[in-house]
A and B are shown apart, each in its own frame.
Chain A
Amino acid sequence: MTAYIIRRLLYTIPVVFGVLLTTFLLFNIVGGDVTDRIAGRAASAETRAEIRAEYGWDKPLFFSWDSQFIRHMTNAATFRFGRSWIDREPIIDKIRRGAGPSLMLTVPMFVGTLAISVSLALAVAFLRGTWFDKIAVVVCVAGMSLPFLSFILFGQYFLAYKWGLFPVYFWPDLSPPQYLALPVLIGIAAGLGSNVRFYRTVMLDEMDADYVRTAFAKGLGPAGVLFKHVLKNGMIPILTRVVLAVPFLFLGALLLERFFGIPGLGYLMIEAIGARDFQVINAMTYIGAVLFVGFNLLTDICYCLVDPRVSLE
């Protein structure tokens, strides 16, 4: 397994390099020049030149030891992303500050969605063909069809503004559980449709297997069969979905953060895209790519742990 892990770690180098090259080409060649935006109105050519020098944009793109690409690579390797051109704040400080609020929102949302959707999927799969299953499928399809924004607006209007069950928005005197409760609930509700549908399919594949009939024939109750056998055998696709979703938890929830005033990384990303703050977008993309590659490897290791038939060679 160690050899496999080392080999996979080595594979990550070209993947991350590819990401860095792509982001560099996208932001530096296709993305255009933001010097004017930094310089302010009616800036002279000298001011623009000074800005280009300050950010290293006056250097050659590739073929030089002090080229922009080499600097881009070095910054990424050392996690020193420089300062945002919008407010001149170090980007790493922004990321550190935003990671906490993002995780406070996305982790409960993720865990809640997973727990509820797997449980519901088990129930729905077990009761396949009954009214409960049919209603669940209709509700899931309806939930999947609704735009995420509709859930936000509905929740904010009815649950917070009209009925006063939750705060409408972040407010300085509120504690995180108070102002995060509604966005978490909305995130869970919005994610249930697609997740229950997916896990239902996974569970149905298992429910038709011979070992389930055998288990029932041996006198095991539904709970025992579902949680001890079906759930365990359905773990591979569940794991794939779960572990690969984890890196995105760090990147926050774009719309929820913006509509509920949560200063997380999703909010930061939206802001950076709107303002073309390529330094920030680049840092976030790079961190996302590293996490994604890392968690991909973790998924493979987990396969091996949950399913003895899988071996890493």
Chain B
Amino acid sequence: MIDARSWKKKRAARFGLWFLYVFTAGGVFITGGCGASDGDAEKTANVTYIALAAKVRGLDPGDIGDTTSSAVAAQVFECLYEYHYLKRPYELVPRLAADMPSVSDNGLVYTIKIKSGIYFTPDACFGKKPHKLTAADFVFAWKRIADIKYLSKNWWIFDERIVGLDEFREYTKNCKTAADVDYSRPVEGLQTPDKNTLVIKLKRPWPQITYMLAHLPTAPVPVEAVRYYGKDIVNHPVGTGPFRLAKWHKGSYIELVRNELYRERFYPSEGEESDRQAGFLSDAGKPLPLVDSIVMVIVQEDPPRWFLFLNGKIDASGIPKDNFGEAIDRRGGLTDQMKHRNIHLEVFREPSTYWLGFNMEDEVIGSNRPLRLAISHAVDRQKYIELFTNNRGETALGFIPPLMKSYDPEIRQTAGGYDPARAREFVKMARAAAGGELPRLTLSIPGTDAVSRQQGQFFQHCFEQVGLDITTDYMDWPTFQNKIKTKSAQIFMLGWIADYPDAENFLQLFYSANESPGPNNFNYSNAEFDRIYELASAMPECPERTAMYRQAERIVVEDRPAVFLMHGVAYLLHHDWVHNYKPHAFGYGTAQYRRIDVEQRLRYGR
């Protein structure tokens, strides 16, 4: 007779073993051949592998508004000017232009000669006849940005700048459909006296135009491509650059390959003194691009991006917040683990400033300067940088970052820093100014994740230390933007990364005509500031202009429409097989300068 208990136990053991077997066998079956490929073939190719932190939205330069798409399109398209790859401070040099522009005495007419013999990359849209670049291609591209039917995100570049272009935009408003817009309609301020000459007439002096002519949306686009691809042109970039699009698996990866018909261009032979020691000039005079192709894989999450970098799959990476301690030691250098992997660190200043902005139209905070000063002295900036950026930042007391030529080191004296005792005095003055107790303040934070909430708690703590009552409101980015645009935020957390190395790009954020929904999110208005801004922004670079920029900054800091928190400092890592890796704050299409040592890459991890 079988004992029921032992029978069950025997079967239990048998079932246990059976499932163990099934799991093991299944595991072996699934993993068989699935391990990370050795990838030797890919490692020996002269390719640079880049991880993109967001999806690419489109590769039509006229409508590009995000940094990821710009990073890809800038390898395919070229502008009239570009930033010198090595020289600092950042300096513009001709790219499609033959020389720097010739400017009339009144600063209103720019004459630009375009290099001859440049062709767009061969494409089905041209048929058999290649398209040679002419000045008319620029005129077409810029009229297209002005065309309201095209709905470009970049009209702000030319808005109220070029004679006749606003009128062209007005004309397009009356066209029923996009197809009705007549691009042959002349624009007085955009003339092409010959095929290689472009004359731009401005409505008022605009010295920053040269920076805009190095900005990707102003790149020439061939009319044939626009007509041939229609709305699908976002997927078919046709430029004059060193690379052309080979594959684009949307949401996965993009492969760009060398443009075989690319003209002769060479790696720069001038740079800073330190560039020679760093080896950045060892490829001087070599034809560009130095790599045959670029593979850009979209990796939106930090952990896989970090693992791919450590595995040697991607050539360079930023450092995720959670892995900072693994990469950087307490002295700010690389850890032994990183050194052992022959990983290199590049640290560079970003053209950025982050702040807690005040809505100057808010009746509580806008009319109470002592309250704004109290908040400004209450925030421990250094602690903020330490807690939330792993010390990747510099304390900000003004808004012009140290990387800009017009940065004013003396601004600290005007602003004063973290000083809780002083903040408490200002709180008393603020109460007196308000005629009683201060109401609860509201801080809007763009983000609902854990880090955003920790930031909210940090500011709440800073405010409470000096006797201010504050509540934090966390929201997603679109809601936040909407709140800013409709002037309904009281205090908000935001920042700005400059588009070009001219402090005017920061000053415009405080110009009263730019109030929300424009870029002046503070809705700040000061007649003296406006006067200086209008004068200085029309001046070419000179010591007088620098002095005026600094004066304007001091006016803003005195009024304190924001608590300036920090200027960003970027930490970038790259493997030793990547040569000429010099970070650039404004240049996007820099992959052409990189050289890959495939032998070194092959040795990695062996």
Contact = CB atoms under 8 A, between A and B. Distances in A.
Do A and B share a complex?
Answer: yes
Contacts of B479: 32
B151 interface: yes
Contact of A40 (B153, B478, B482): B153
Contact of A120 (B19, B41, B298, B301): B19
Contacts of B42: 173
Contact of A260 (B304, B482, B514): B304
Given A47-B151, A259-B303, A263-B252, A168 B311 contact: yes
Given A87-B234, A127-B15, A184-B30, A34 B478 contact: yes
A223 to B, nearest CB: 10
B163 interface: no
Contact of B8 (A97, A127, A165, A169): A127
A132 B33 contact: no
Interface in B36-60: 36-37, 39, 41-42, 55, 57-58
Looking at chain A's contact residues, the main secondary structure is helix
B517 interface: yes
B451 to A, nearest CB: 15
Interface string A156-196: 11001100111111111110011001101100000000000
B129 to A, nearest CB: 29
B301 A42 contact: no
B297 A87 contact: no
Given A42-B519, A181-B31, A261-B304, A87 B57 contact: yes
Given A41-B156, A42-B514, A156 B12 contact: no
B9 A172 contact: no
Nearest to B605: A164
Nearest to B69: A87
B307 to A, nearest CB: 4
A153 interface: yes
A164 B38 CA distance: 10
B108 interface: no
Contact of A177 (B34, B58, B308, B311): B34
B403 interface: no
Interface in A253-308: 258-261, 263, 267-268, 271, 274-276
Given A86-B57, A166-B31, A261 B153 contact: no
B442 interface: no
Interface in B286-302: 295, 297-301
Q: Max chain A CB contacts within 10 Å: which of B9, B152, B311, B478? A: B478
B148 interface: yes
Interface in A76-96: 83, 86-89, 94
Contact of B297 (A44, A116, A172): A172
Contact of A268 (B35, B251, B518): B251
B15 A43 contact: no
Contacts of B517: 36, 42-43
Contacts of A88: 58, 63, 231, 234
A217 to B, nearest CB: 13
Q: Max chain B CB contacts within 10 Å: which of A83, A127, A171, A184? A: A171
Contacts of A38: 151, 153
A205 interface: no
B37 to A, nearest CB: 6
A49 to B, nearest CB: 9
Interface string A130-170: 11100000000000000000000100110011001111111
B304 A185 contact: no
A109 B492 CA distance: 44
A52 to B, nearest CB: 11
Nearest to B31: A165
A130 B8 contact: yes
B249 interface: yes
B531 interface: no
Contacts of B514: 42
Nearest to A42: B156
A157 B306 CA distance: 10
A157 B12 contact: no
Interface residues of A, number: 68
Contacts of A260: 304
B15 A261 contact: no
Contact of B15 (A132, A164, A169, A170): A132
A36 to B, nearest CB: 6
Nearest to A271: B55
Contacts of B22: 116, 119
Interface in B139-176: 148-149, 151-156, 159, 173
A54 interface: yes
B65 interface: yes
Interface in A93-121: 94, 97-98, 116, 119-120
B481 interface: yes
A39 interface: yes
A51 interface: yes
A171 B313 contact: yes
A248 interface: no
Interface in B1-45: 8-9, 11-12, 15-16, 19, 22, 27, 30-31, 33-37, 39, 41-42
A32 B478 contact: yes
B295 to A, nearest CB: 6
Interface string B228-264: 0001001100000000000101111101000000000
Contacts of B307: 156-157, 160-161, 168-169
A58 interface: no
Nearest to B484: A36
A210 interface: no
A185 B30 contact: yes
A134 to B, nearest CB: 11
A258 B305 CA distance: 12
Nearest to B23: A116
A228 interface: no
Contacts of A41: 65, 153, 156, 519
Contacts of A7: none
A198 interface: no
Contacts of B299: 169, 261
Contacts of A37: 478, 481
B231 A172 contact: no
A86 B479 CA distance: 17
Q: Max chain A CB contacts within 10 Å: which of B9, B36, B303, B308? A: B36
A123 interface: yes
Contact of B30 (A116, A127, A181): A181
Interface in B362-383: none
Contacts of B478: 32, 34, 37, 275-276
B156 A261 contact: no
> Nearest 9 pairs between A and B by C-beta?
A40-B153, A263-B251, A181-B34, A161-B307, A42-B156, A87-B57, A169-B304, A130-B12, A168-B307
Given A127-B15, A130-B8, A263-B251, 11 more contacts: A39-B151, A41-B65, A42-B518, A47-B151, A50-B148, A87-B234, A94-B250, A127-B8, A130-B12, A161-B307, A181-B31
26 contacts: A36-B517, A39-B153, A40-B155, A40-B156, A42-B514, A42-B518, A88-B63, A88-B234, A89-B250, A119-B22, A127-B8, A127-B12, A153-B303, A156-B304, A157-B303, A157-B307, A165-B36, A167-B35, A172-B295, A173-B42, A181-B30, A181-B31, A184-B30, A185-B27, A259-B304, A263-B251
Interface of A: 32-34, 36-44, 46-47, 50-51, 54, 83, 86-89, 94, 97-98, 116, 119-120, 123, 126-127, 130-132, 153, 156-157, 160-161, 164-174, 177-178, 181-182, 184-185, 222, 258-261, 263, 267-268, 271, 274-276
